[in-house]
Amino acid sequence: MTDTSCFHCGLPCEAEEIRFDEKSFCCNGCKTVYAIFRDNDLSYYYELEGAPGKTPEPLHGKFDFLDDPLIAERLLEFQDGSHSVITFNIPHIHCSSCIWILENLSRLNSGVYSSQVDFPRKEARIHFNPDHISLKELVGLLNAIGYEPSITLEQYEGESEKVDRKLIYQLGIAGFAFGNIMFLSFPEYFESGEFWLEKYKGLFHWIMFAFSLPVVFYSGSGYLTSAYKSLRSGMLNIDVPIALGILVLFIRSTVEISFDLGQGFFDSLSGLVFFLLLGKFFQQRTYSFLSFERDYRSYFPIAVTRLKADASEENIPVHQVETGDRLLIKSGSLIPADSILLKGEGKLDYSFVTGEARAVSKQSGDRLYAGGKQLKGAIEIEVLKPVSQSYLTELWSDAAFSKNHRTAFRNLTDRIGKRFTVAVLSIAFLAAAIWLFIDPSRALNVLTAVLIIACPCAIALAAPFTLGNLLRIFGKKGFYVKDTESLERMALVDTVIFDKTGTLTTTRKNSIDYTGIELTEAEAILLKNTLRASGHPLSQTLYQQLASYNIVPLDGFEEHLGEGLEGRLADEHIRVGSSQFVTGMPSLETGGSEVHVSSNDTYKGRFVIRNSYRKGAGKLFEDLSKVYALAVLSGDNESEKAYLEDLLPPLTPMYFNQKPKEKLQFVRELQQDGKEVLMVGDGLNDAGALAQSKVGIAISEDANLFTPACDGILDSRQFAKLNVFLETTKKAMKIIYMSFGFSLMYNVVGLYFAVTGQLEPVIAAILMPLSSISIVGFTTLATNWISRKIL
C-alpha cells in the first residue's frame, strides 16, 4: 500500500501507483487525462490549483440516447448546419482550473468553437460543430477530462431547475444546535451549585460537543472548504480568517472538555456559525429578490407586429407574444421566439447567438431560433414557444458582446480583500502572542474575536448591491441596462453623442408632403410593401401614410444600410431612399428629411418629412451641456440645421450625411483624444458607433430593432430624463465609496475592541453579519433616495 497522492485528482493511490512522466497517478484514467492536457499544451491547468480534477469513469453506453436526433434537438439551444449551442450542468466545477480547462475545450477538439462557464450555476455553454464532433462525442470528451455533465429528465422536458435549499438546511441545523447548546450551558452561566446540575455537568459538555459536530462539519463546511481551496492554491480569500476562527474555537473547546480544563466555547462556536449563515442568508435573499425583480420587469421595451386573422396588424409588447401567434418580422428586426417561417425569404444573422457574423438562408417551413436577426425583407413567422425573456437577456449579456472592461470596483474590492485578509491574520496572531504574556486565559478569545470581527465581507457587498438595486430601479423607470459594469462605465462618461433620426425625432407626429409625379396604384402598393419590410423610422412613417393600400408579398427586397431600399414585384422595380441613392445627385435643402422615389429607373418625386422632435429635448441638452461635451451625428442632410442650432447649446458640433462607418470612426477619434463617449442612437444605422463607444444606449419606440451592440435600452418616453439617469449613476459611485469608508471604519473600531480583549467571540459573530446587513440596508435606502427624481 502507498500513501502517494495522485497528481491529477489528489486522491491517495491505494494500490500500486502508476508512474508516468515522473508523476504518480491513482489509475489509468487520471494518467490519460494528464497525457491529454500535456499533449495539447494545457499543463497550466495544474498550476492554477493543485489536484483539481476528478477521476473519469467509463461511460458504458450511458449517453447513447444522445444519438437520437429528437432528444438532441430538445437539448440543444440552437442548431443550424455547422453550428450548435448547448448548455451543460457540470457538478464537478469547483475552482479556477475547472473554469480554465472548460473554457479551453477548443484546444482539445477543433470541433468546439468556444465555451463559457457560469461558475455560480456550475454550467458550461458550448458552441460546437456537429459535423466534427457529435453531441455524444462532446459529452465523452467532457467525461474523459473528468467533467461529466449531468443530463436529467427535467432538462430534456425543459422543466425549471430545482431550488438549492442547502443554505436553509445549514442555517436550521446551526440555529437548532445554538439554542440547545445555550440551554445546556445554563449551569455554567449561573453557577447555581445545584447538586444534579453539578453532577451531570460533564455529560452536558459532551452533549454540547455532539451538537457542535454538525455545526462545524455541515453548517460551517462552506467556509472550511473555501478556505482550504484558497490555501491549497496559494491564495488568501476572505473565508480564511473565518474558517480559522471556527477551527480554533472547536479545537480549543474539545481540548478543554477532554482534559476537564473548562466548559469550552461551544456556545460561541454555534452562535458564530449561526449568525454568519444568517447574514449570508439575508444577503442571498436580498440579491435574489433584486435579480428576480429585474428579470421580471426588464422586458426589452420593444414591440412586435402581430398579424390578426383579418390580416390587419397590431403592435404588442414582446412579452405578450404567445405560442401560435403570427408575427411580421421586418428587415433588421430580431426574432423574439423559436418559430416556423411561413412566408418570405429568411436571411438570418445569428451572431447574437453564436458570436459569428454569417448570414443563413431559410425557406418556408424551416425552423427559426430566438435571437436571429432578419437581414433581407419582411418575413412572417408562427411562434412555437413563448418568448423567453431570460433567454434573450442571457444572450444580450453574452461574452461575445461584452466590451471586456474589468471594473474598477471589482479590482478595488479584490485588492482590499486580499490585503485585508493578510493584515487581519497578522494582527490576530500578534495580538494573541502579546496576550499570552499579559493574560494567557484571554489570548484565545482575542485571536478568535479579531479573526471574526475584521472580515471584509461588507466591502465586497458594497458595489454589487448598490449597482444591482440601481439596475432594478432603472428597469422600473423604463431604462433597461445590460449589467452593473455598464452602469459603472456610464458614470465615467464625459462626452454624449446623439443620432438625429429616430433618436432626437419621433415618428409619431411628423408631417409629410409629396412633390413630384403622382404614383400609380401599382407603384404605391409596391412602395408600401417595400417600406413595410424596413424598420427604419422614416420607412415606418411613410408606411403609415400608405395604410390604405393592399399588402402583397414581394419578389425581391434589399436594404442598403444608411442609403435606401429596393423592392421588386413582377416586372416592377422601385428604389426609395436618399437623393444620392435614388438619383445619384445630392439633395437640396427643403426644410425636412427627404425620401426620394424612383420606379423602373424613372425618378418619380420626393417625400419631405418635417420631423417632430421629442418633448423635453431642449431642456435635456441644456442640462447635459453643463457636465458633458455634446455632438450630433446625422445620416440626414442639413435641412434642419437651423432648427437644431436653436435647440442645442451654442457651438455644439453637428455633422450631417454621416454613414454608419463614419459615425463609428468619429467615436474612435474622440476616444483616441482621451474622451469617454456615450452614444445615443436608434440601434439601426448606429450599431457600430454604439459598440465602439464606452456606453451605447438605444432609444426604443415601437419597433423590434434591438441590437446586442448596445449597453442599455431607453424607452423613448423617458428620453427627457437621460440626464437624470446619468446623474444618478454618478451618485451611485459615491454611495459605493461611502460604503467602503463605513466598512473600513467599522473594522478599525471592531479591531480595537477585539485586540484589547473587550470583545467576546459570540458578540463578534453577531456584529460581523450585522455589518454586512447594515451595508446592504444603507446601499438599498441610498439608491432609492438618489433615484427619487426619476418619476
Task: Tell me if residue 612 falls in helix, strand or coil.
Answer: strand
Sign of CA dihedral 313, 318, 319, 321: positive
What angle in degrees, to the nearest 10, is found between the helix axes of 440-453 and 722-755?
170
The pLDDT value recorded for residue 620 is 92
Q: Is the pLDDT of residue 352 over 70?
A: no
Higher pLDDT, 1 or 434: 434
pLDDT band at 680 (very low <50, low <70, confident <90, very high): very high
Highest mean pLDDT range out of 100-114, 391-405, 425-439?
Answer: 425-439
pLDDT band at 194 (very low <50, low <70, confident <90, very high): low
At 143, the amino acid letter reads: N
Task: Tell me if residue 572 falls in helix, strand or coil.
Answer: strand
Give the C-alpha distances (Å, rounded to integers) separating 146 from 88, 132, 160, 291: 14, 21, 26, 32
Mean pLDDT, to the nearest integer, of 598-614?
A: 85
Range in 20-29, 96-105, 117-126, 618-627 the model is least confident about: 20-29
pLDDT band at 238 (very low <50, low <70, confident <90, very high): low
Q: Is the pLDDT of residue 214 over 90?
A: yes
Q: Is the pLDDT of residue 370 over 70?
A: yes
CA–CA distance, 344 with 362 (Å, rounded to integer)? 9
Q: Is the pLDDT of residue 505 over 50?
A: yes
Q: Is the pLDDT of residue 134 over 60?
A: yes
Highest mean pLDDT range out of 207-221, 442-456, 640-654?
Answer: 207-221
The pLDDT value recorded for residue 172 is 92
Name the pTM for this structure: 0.68
B/e letters for 660-698, b = 16+ CB within 10 Å, e = fewer, are beebbebbeebeeeebbbbbbbbbbbbbbbbbbbbbbbb
The pLDDT value recorded for residue 532 is 82
Sign of CA dihedral 634, 637, 638, 639: negative
Mean pLDDT, to the nearest integer, of 434-438?
A: 89
Higher pLDDT, 520 or 194: 520
Q: Is the pLDDT of residue 296 over 50?
A: no
Q: Which domains does the chain have, with CATH numbers?
A: 1-39 (no CATH), 64-157 (3.30.70.100), 166-294+407-465+736-786 (no CATH), 303-401 (2.70.150.10), 467-503+614-728 (3.40.50.1000), 505-613 (3.40.1110.10)
Q: Is the pLDDT of residue 388 over 70?
A: no
Give the β-pairing of 123-128 and 373-374. unpaired
pLDDT band at 1 (very low <50, low <70, confident <90, very high): very low
The pLDDT value recorded for residue 628 is 94
Percent of the chain with pLDDT over 90: 10
CA–CA distance, 320 with 695 (Å, rounded to integer)? 29
pLDDT digit string (tens) for 555-591? Answer: 888 888 778 888 888 888 999 988 888 887 776 655 5
The pLDDT value recorded for residue 403 is 59
Q: Is the pLDDT of residue 376 over 90?
A: no
Q: Mean pLDDT, the chain, as a whole number?
A: 78
Q: Is the pLDDT of residue 156 over 60?
A: no
Q: Which residue has the cell 441638452?
A: 621
